[in-house]
C-alpha cells in the first residue's frame, strides 16, 4: 500500500495484512512487524529514521522510533 526507501537503500513496504516489511537494497527480507491495526495506507521516514504510518480506520498516525 506504500513503498519508500531510506538513505542506506533499504526498502520499506506496508500491506493489508497489516505489516511493515523491510528489504535490503538487493531485495532480501531483513525485518517484518505488525505495527498498526488495519494496514498503513501511507508511510514516510524522516532524517532521524523515525517511521510514520497513516491508517484510515481508525484515522491515526503511528510513529515508530529507531532503536540502537
* 20-40 pLDDT, tens digit each: 999 999 999 999 988 877 778
Q: Would you state the pLDDT for residue 25? A: 96
Q: Would you state the pLDDT for residue 58? A: 81
Q: Which residues contact 60 (CB under 8 A, 6 or more apart)?
A: 54
- Sorted by where each starts, the structural domains of the chain and their CATH numbers stand as 2-64 (2.40.10.480)
Q: Would you state the pLDDT for residue 4? A: 93
Adjacency order of strands within the sheet including 59-64: 40-45, 51-56, 59-64
If pLDDT is split at 50, 70 and 90, which confidence band does 63 have? Answer: very high
Across all residues in the chain, what is the average pLDDT?
A: 90
Amino acid at each position: 500500500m506504500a513503498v519508500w526507501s531510506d538513505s542506506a537503500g533499504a526498502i520499506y513496504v506496508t500491506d493489508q495484512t497489516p505489516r511493515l516489511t523491510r528489504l535490503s537494497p538487493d531485495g532480501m527480507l531483513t525485518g517484518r512487524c505488525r505495527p498498526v491495526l488495519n494496514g498503513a495506507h501511507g508511510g514516510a521516514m524522516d532524517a532521524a529514521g523515525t517511521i510514520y504510518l497513516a491508517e484510515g480506520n481508525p484515522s491515526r498516525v503511528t510513529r515508530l522510533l529507531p532503536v540502537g
